[in-house]
Each structure stands twice: as structure tokens, then as C-alpha cells.
Chains A and B, each alone.
Chain A
Amino acid sequence: MLTTALLSVAVFCFWGYVRPYLITERELTQMFLWNADYFMERIVVPGGMARYIGEWLVQFFVYIKYGAVIYALLFALVQLLCWRLTRNYLLSLVLPVLMWWLSLHTDIPMTPHVALVLTLAAMTVIPNKEGPALLVSALLVPVVYWLAGPVAVLIPLYHLRWFWSHPNTSIGEACAAGYLLLLCLTGSTRLVPYPLGELARGIDYRWEEDIIGTYQDMTYSTLLRRRQWEGLVRLSISHPPQSLASQNAARLALWHTKRVGDEALRECLQHSRRVMASAVTTSIMSNVYLELGMLNMAQRAAFDLMESIPNGNKSGRAMKRLAETALYTGQPELALKYIRLLEQTLFYRKWASSMRRFAEHPELMESEPLFQKYREIYKKADDVFFY
């Protein structure tokens, strides 16, 4: 228990204080909806349950502390399950450490972590006798494969423990369980529209590209969202921005604090494709464009951010931006569509509900200073083209 407690505290402190923005920016790449369709869309593919639970957990990453607690509990659970299965403290730390390392990679979503927990939990019901163990595994392999994905390979591997302790034992059971998993894998290509290679790697185990972005960009992005201009200026001095988007964020902070003029601000804005190189830099640019009153570009950045998410997820934060820019630019029906979706989330619901009346009664925007400001800017803006 002491090992588990120490591990949990270490994990909590790491995510809470050393890499906090990895938590919030992971949340950037999803919009968990509390409806049946959201669940059904996920559960119809192998590993879908793991993805669903993973995304359910990540919705709480809106707040750093919640995220840190979730990571701590998750890692502790893995450690406990590993200990239950191996009865070896050292071995029980191998998977949590591996998970820790994996969770630092932003191209690896929460799905494989949850898949591991589900699989380990399922493995705890495998009896300690070879015959019954094979029988239970024959039931577990297809179920765990569908719920958690190819990490179910741990079940056949678990059968090797007898061979490990008694080398004379047959590995037939492990081979049989492995063969069953292979059958599930190949059979699933007929059921779901994914190639075999993708199913073998796990549908949402790893994204093709690291689309989220660098930790430095995440830091700039967070300060920008909080409109901490002095903090951004200090950061730009201590850690000069590497990406064009972070440079724009720093320049915006300098402009807000009256250290540079308008001309300097507009540098690097127009070549939007180069600036928006990752999800986080695109998010930065959406905020920069909004601050500058470039509503169409703020909208575009939010849209591109959502569509850059490789697993087809939407982004709650981006959708919020789409809703507000739709209101500012006089598209209330469109804003209402986004608001209705946001109302099905846990953490954007309140904001969405507060915006609903403006979408349903656009005339109310006339009496709101913020709407007036942006709508006036939009009306007067020259139509410049961006590429």
C-alpha cells in the first residue's frame, strides 16, 4: 500500500506542478458528449470502450488538479492490479512507469492507458489452474479485445507464467489464447472499416502524428487564454518562443502592454498555414486572431483545430470559439447548432446555456458591449485575403 500511495503522490505532483499544461491541452482534443450516440459511435469498434472511458476521464482535464488526481488514481490502479497478478512489487511498477512515460507523449491518447486497466482487471479473474484458465481466457479474449483492443494480447502472455515457473509445462494454452486473439483481430476487419494493420496497432492507441504541439506552445497557449500579458512577456524573455504562433502570442502581449505598435503586431499573421502547425499553435492563433478582431480567421483556426484531431474527435474549446464567432459574425442558427452540442458536455454546458438566448434572439446582442464591439469590428473590417 505504501508503494501505491507513494506512486500516487509522485504522479499527482508531477502532473499538477511539473507538466500541468499537458493536462489541459490534452483536453483540447476532445468534446465528450453525454448522449447515447457518442457512446455507440465508440463502442462499435474494438477498443471502443477503452476510448470512451478514456475520453470520459479526459473531460475533467479542463482543470489541472482534476487531471492530476485522475492520473494518480489510474496509475495506482494499474500498480495494484499488477501486484495482484504478479505478487511482485518491482514488477508491479513496470507498467505504471511505462504508462507514465507514454502519457508524456501527446500523440498517445488516454485509450491505451484505460485499455491496460481493463485488460489487467479482466486478467484477475483468470483461475490459477491451467485448464480452467484456458476456458476463462477463451471467454475473455474476444470480450476484452472488443472492449479494450489489441492490448488483450496480455491474456495469452499471462498464460506463459506457468511456462516461466515450470519450463517443462506446455505453452499450448498460451498459443491457443493467442490464436483466438488473432482470429478476433482478422475477423474484426470484416466488421469495422479499418485495415488489419490499424486494428493490430489499436484504433486509438497512437495517433499518426504528434498533432498537439510542444510543451512551450502549451505554456504560451495557457497564458494567452488567461490573458496574462505580463506573464507572457516574462515568459518570452526567459524562454523565447520557438514557434511562429507563440511568437505571435508574445507579440500580442507586448502590444497589450504597449511595448510595440500595431505594425509589429501584424507580422507573421497572414501566412496562416505556416503559423498553424499543430493543435496548440492553431488554438493560439485562434485566440490571437480574436484579440485582433479578425473573426473569420479566429473561426477558421478553431475549425482547423477540430479537424486536425486524428481520431475524428471534436474539441469543446474549439466549438466554443465557433459558437461565439458565429454569433459575432451574424450566424445565429449556426451558433445555436454548436451551443446545443456544447450543452451536452459537462464543463461547457453552463457557458453554452448562457449563450443560447443570444442565438435564439439575436437582437439581444445589441445591448451587450462585448457583442457590440466585435460586431462593429466585423462590419467595418476590410476584406483582406488570407492563405
Chain B
Amino acid sequence: MKQLGYIIVLGLVALTACRPQPRNVVEVDTLPDIYPDYVDVTVPAEIAPLNFAMTDDSVTRMEVEVKGARGGFIKEKGRLAQFSISQWHRLLADNKGSHLLVTVQALKHGQWSRYRTFKIYVSNDALTDWGVTYRRVVPGYGMYSQMGLYQRQLSTFSEKALLPSTQVSGMCVNCHTPNRANPDQYTFHVRGRHGATVICRDGQIDILSARNDSLGGSMVYPCWHPGGRYCAYSTNVTSQMFHLAQNKRIEVFDRSSDVFIYDAESRTMLRDSLTMRGGWAENCPAFSPDGKWLYYVSSPCQTYPEGYDQEKYSLCRVAFDAQTGRLGQQVDTLINAAQTGQSVSWPRLSYDGRYLMYTQADYGYFTVWHPEADLWLMDLETGQRRKMDEVNSPRAESLHSWSTDSRWFLFTSRREDGLYTRLYFSSIGPDGKATKPFLLPQRNPKQYYRQSLFSFNTPDFTIRPVKTDRRQMGRLIESDRRATTNVIDLNTTTDK
């Protein structure tokens, strides 16, 4: 037995000895070209290890040293810098509010090179949310084979399916939207043979019909009122057409769209002519964090295909009374598309009420297909708005959400290859400037993102894990039993 032990130890020593150690290292005065690009990013101390590899596939080995400015040290060797989760968290906790110094040595064609040390800043702002929810879906044209709603813990690499399409055969599940990242209250939409709108409030699940004739469409893009009783939805009759040229693929547009309020307690749809005007397309509703305002975007309807690039949405808001569920009498236009010549979509307010982040593109609202789409930030205290150059790229940025403490935000971007959207995180400083965004960490990010043919879609934070029984949810959706809803017309008549 003892002999066997010696043999194993000797074998391990021999194996280690065979691995090349850095020798004759050449100093290179450039930053290492790593994937994902974590150079000088700012991360919360709670984030999962930022594993990375050299972008260049001909690098066969790396030695990576991560030193905390306030102490602590990790060293990793191999093709991939793959850090231990516990060691990583200890190092980041010790260096909160400071930074890490990362030195990379890489072996390529038998030559070791040492690159310039870079920093990873560890924010003082904790990431208080547990993780994120998102839909994984192919960026396709209309067909889809597999997709699903997933949740991912941000401090580890653990991902869990909430409702994959295999559970509800052939269904398209989309737009999982929690109320202020609360996993006990959410809604999502199901398209397909057993189409439905699912509304879950503290364990009570209502399954509504996917289409409602009184709305003229289905309940598509939701946003919860902070009180939890109301949820604003857009109802869209969506179409798409396909470009033959111009380096564009798809135009998604609505032949009609409106915004209405759903009262989840009385299962009543509150239609108000203020946000359901004929000849206008209202879309992308969002409640303010105090619940007193409903923000949405609005554009004059166009004829298609001719006027597709003239569909420019303005940012509007209207008062909301949570006691009565009624909208106010007057609509404020905060950004007038007629003046800017640009189209606003996906307004999302930080939970502290300070900022409104939105996407701006040349036209339309389905900005994931618009390479020119960028994130913009409006300071609600000053009314000033600006393009967020520090996080934007030449490709589409879209679909953003705030963390519950309003210090962090996430967004999707097609910056890597122009098609597959990935999930990025950034933080907002006291000066309103965002930090360099970082890609959602993966255990082996190079392999994961290269292999994955899915896009990350409609992401949001979640404060705790979502506890959904996928089997029960699947059965409910496939049962075709749907809750009865009422419709009330409020018919406010005030012109914009």
C-alpha cells in the first residue's frame, strides 16, 4: 500500500515536472489580449470568478498571478485561468473598494511572454441581488427549436432551467418579468399551441389566454407596479419582414400596439384611451419606482413596408393612481422623436428614482436587430440625457435592467459577433458615469461563448432564486384551462 502511495506521488511529481515553467520570459509592453476582456473592469466583490483565456488560440499555457492591492494572492496555471470560487471570493472580499493586479505570462510557439499588469477594480458597492433570470433563445427569424427561461447565480456558475421549452413542447416562452427582482411575483408570456400569459403572485398562479379579443392582441411587454397589484402590459400585433441587403436581416414592427393596465387582484384589464389611441402605437411600459408614473413610448403608426424607418417612438409618461388604477389626464412627452429624429424604447427607471435608462435607435423599437442601437441615460433630477459611450459599442445594445440597489445594471449587447447577444454588467458611480462593462462570467468562458448558439434575452436581476415547479407550470400551461378576465374601458380623452 505504502509503495503504491510512493508511486502515485512520484507520478504526480513527474507530471508536474513535464509541464513547462516560464523560462526566458520576454517582457511585452502591451496589455494581454484576453477573452473575455476583463482588463480594467469594475466588479462587485460577490461576482463569480472572472476566468479567462488568451484570445489567441495558439497560446498553449498561461501563468496568471492575481494580487490584491490590500493583500491576498492567487496563482493559476494552464490554458485557462480558472480560479477557485472560494479563493476568489476571499480575495475580492479582502480588496473591496480597492483593486486586483493581474499579471499574465503566456506560452506561444515555445516562447514565454509577460504582459503589462492590468487592474480589476473591486467596487465598494455590494451586489445585493442573488442572480439573474433570462431567456436563452436563438437569434432566429421565426423558427425556434429549443429555448427556455433560466436563472443564474451571480456568485457562482450555477445555472438552472426555470421553464425550458422541452417541458411545454413546442412552446415559445418569453419576457419573464419579476416585480423589482422579486422572484415571488413574475409574469411571462407563452406562444404556440398552448399560448398563455402566466401571472404568479406569491404562489398564486393565474394562466390567462394568450390572446384577448378585446385587446386586439396578446399581453406582450410587461412592467409591474411596485405595489404588486397592477401590471402594465403592451399588446402588440407584431410582424416581421426580411431585408435582402444593407447588412440588415430583420425588421420587427407592430401593425398595432397599445398599453393597458392589468389589475391582478380583480383579474381586470383596464383599457384607457390615453394609451390606446387609434393611429398611434404605444409600447414598452415602465412604472416609476414610486408607482406614481407610467412611462411608455409612442409613435404615429406607419404603413409597411414603406414607412418602416419612419416609425420613431417618443418617450412619454402619464400619472398613475394606484388607489383607483386610473391614469391621469395629461401625457408628458419627455423625449420628442419629431425633434430628435431618433426612436426611444425600453425605458427602465433605477429603483432609487434617479435615472432612466433607455435604448435609442434610428427607428423602431425592436432594437436588438438595430446595430446603431445604444444605451442612453436620463438624469431624472436634472432632465439631462446622454449617450452612454462608456458602455456602448458599434453594435446593438439593448434590454437593460437595474439591480435593486440601483448601483449596478445589466444589458445585452451583440458587440462580439453582431448576432448573438451576450449579457454585460456595469455600475453607475456617484457622478453618473458607468464603469467598463464585463461579460457574464462562465467557468470556461472562451469555450462557452464560442460553442453557444443562444442569445441572452430579456434579462433581469433576481433577489433570490426563483422557486418554480417546472412540472406543475408545464401541466398548467398544457391544460388549456385559462382564468376568466374582465375588461373595463376607462376612456379618458385627452390629446397628447
Does B associate with A? Answer: yes
Interface residues of A (CB under 8 A from B): 35, 37, 189-190, 193-195, 198, 208, 272-273, 294, 296-297, 299-300, 303-304, 306-314, 329-331, 333-334, 336-337, 340-341, 378, 381-387
Q: Which of B142, B244, B419 contacts A385 (CB 8 A)?
A: B244
CB neighbours (8 Å) of A314 from chain B are: 453
**B170 and A208 contacting across the interface, CB-CB below 8 Å:** yes
Q: Which of B145, B166, B244 contacts A194 (CB 8 A)?
A: B166
**A330 and B247 contacting across the interface, CB-CB below 8 Å:** yes
User: Does B249 sit at the interface, judged by CB under 8 A?
Assistant: yes
**24 A-B residue pairings within 8 Å (CB atoms):** A37-B447, A193-B161, A194-B167, A195-B168, A195-B474, A195-B475, A272-B242, A273-B142, A297-B244, A300-B249, A304-B142, A307-B138, A307-B141, A307-B145, A308-B145, A330-B247, A331-B418, A333-B417, A334-B417, A334-B418, A337-B420, A337-B450, A383-B245, A386-B241
**A311 and B145 contacting across the interface, CB-CB below 8 Å:** yes
| B143, closest chain A residue (CB) | A307
Top 10 closest pairs, chain A to chain B, by CB: A307-B143, A312-B146, A381-B245, A333-B417, A385-B241, A386-B242, A334-B417, A384-B244, A383-B245, A193-B164
In angstroms, Cα B251 to Cα A331, docked, is: 19
Q: Which of B144, B168, B417, B474 contacts A337 (CB 8 A)?
A: B417
Interface centre among B248, B249, B417, B470 (most CB of A within 10 A): B417
CB neighbours (8 Å) of B385 from chain A are: none
CB neighbours (8 Å) of A378 from chain B are: 245
Residues of chain B from 390 to 433 with CB closer than 8 A to chain A in the complex: 416-420
**A383 and B416 contacting across the interface, CB-CB below 8 Å:** no
Q: Which of A193, A336, A341, A383 contacts B243 (CB 8 A)?
A: A383
CB neighbours (8 Å) of B418 from chain A are: 331, 333-334
**A297 and B170 contacting across the interface, CB-CB below 8 Å:** no
Q: Which of B161, B166, B245, B305 contacts A296 (CB 8 A)?
A: B245
CB neighbours (8 Å) of A189 from chain B are: 471
- In the complex, how many angstroms separate the beta carbon of A144 from the nearest chain B beta carbon? 22
CB neighbours (8 Å) of A194 from chain B are: 166-167
- In the complex, how many angstroms separate the beta carbon of B167 from the nearest chain A beta carbon? 5
User: Does B71 sit at the interface, judged by CB under 8 A?
Assistant: no
CB neighbours (8 Å) of B164 from chain A are: 193
In angstroms, Cα B447 to Cα A208, docked, is: 32
User: Does B16 sit at the interface, judged by CB under 8 A?
Assistant: no
Q: Which of B169, B249, B416, B447 contacts A198 (CB 8 A)?
A: B169
CB neighbours (8 Å) of A208 from chain B are: 169-170
CB neighbours (8 Å) of A307 from chain B are: 138, 140-141, 143-145
In angstroms, Cα B211 to Cα A262, docked, is: 43
**A296 and B138 contacting across the interface, CB-CB below 8 Å:** no
In angstroms, Cα B248 to Cα A384, docked, is: 11
Q: Which of A273, A294, A304 contacts B244 (CB 8 A)?
A: A294
CB neighbours (8 Å) of A382 from chain B are: 244-245
In angstroms, Cα B243 to Cα A384, docked, is: 6
In angstroms, Cα B255 to Cα A387, docked, is: 14
**A195 and B245 contacting across the interface, CB-CB below 8 Å:** no
| A336, closest chain B residue (CB) | B417
User: Does B3 sit at the interface, judged by CB under 8 A?
Assistant: no
| B169, closest chain A residue (CB) | A198
In angstroms, Cα B418 to Cα A304, docked, is: 18
In angstroms, Cα B419 to Cα A309, docked, is: 20
CB neighbours (8 Å) of A340 from chain B are: 450
Contacts A194-B167, A198-B169, A312-B145; A383 near B246 (Cβ below 8 A): yes
List 4 additional A-B contacts (Cβ < 8 Å) besides A194-B166, A314-B453, A334-B417: A195-B168, A296-B244, A297-B242, A308-B143
User: Does B65 sit at the interface, judged by CB under 8 A?
Assistant: no
Q: Which of A303, A331, A341 contacts B140 (CB 8 A)?
A: A303
Write out, one digit per residue, whether chain B residues 118-154 have a CB within 8 A of any chain A CB (1) or not (0): 0000000000000000000010111111101000000
CB neighbours (8 Å) of B204 from chain A are: none
**A300 and B245 contacting across the interface, CB-CB below 8 Å:** no
Residues of chain B from 425 to 482 with CB closer than 8 A to chain A in the complex: 447, 450-451, 453, 470-471, 474-475, 478
- In the complex, how many angstroms separate the beta carbon of B370 from the nearest chain A beta carbon? 15
Q: Which of B148, B166, B419, B470 contacts A331 (CB 8 A)?
A: B419
In angstroms, Cα B470 to Cα A304, docked, is: 28
In angstroms, Cα B249 to Cα A294, docked, is: 12
| A209, closest chain B residue (CB) | B170
- In the complex, how many angstroms separate the beta carbon of B415 from the nearest chain A beta carbon? 10
CB neighbours (8 Å) of B453 from chain A are: 314, 341
Write out, one digit per residue, whether chain B residues 4-45 have a CB within 8 A of any chain A CB (1) or not (0): 000000000000000000000000000000000000000000
CB neighbours (8 Å) of B247 from chain A are: 329-330
Interface centre among A37, A296, A310 (most CB of B within 10 A): A296
- In the complex, how many angstroms separate the beta carbon of A33 from the nearest chain B beta carbon? 8
**B242 and A193 contacting across the interface, CB-CB below 8 Å:** no
In angstroms, Cα B249 to Cα A108, docked, is: 33
CB neighbours (8 Å) of A297 from chain B are: 242, 244
Q: Which of B143, B167, B245, B249 contacts A193 (CB 8 A)?
A: B167
- In the complex, how many angstroms separate the beta carbon of B311 from the nearest chain A beta carbon? 14
- In the complex, how many angstroms separate the beta carbon of B172 from the nearest chain A beta carbon? 11
| A45, closest chain B residue (CB) | B166
| A36, closest chain B residue (CB) | B447
In angstroms, Cα B249 to Cα A341, docked, is: 22
CB neighbours (8 Å) of B451 from chain A are: 35, 37, 341
**A296 and B450 contacting across the interface, CB-CB below 8 Å:** no
CB neighbours (8 Å) of A331 from chain B are: 417-419
Q: Which of A193, A294, A334 contacts B166 (CB 8 A)?
A: A193
In angstroms, Cα B246 to Cα A381, docked, is: 8
In angstroms, Cα B449 to Cα A353, docked, is: 20
CB neighbours (8 Å) of B148 from chain A are: 193
CB neighbours (8 Å) of A311 from chain B are: 145
| A190, closest chain B residue (CB) | B471
| B444, closest chain A residue (CB) | A37
**B242 and A385 contacting across the interface, CB-CB below 8 Å:** yes
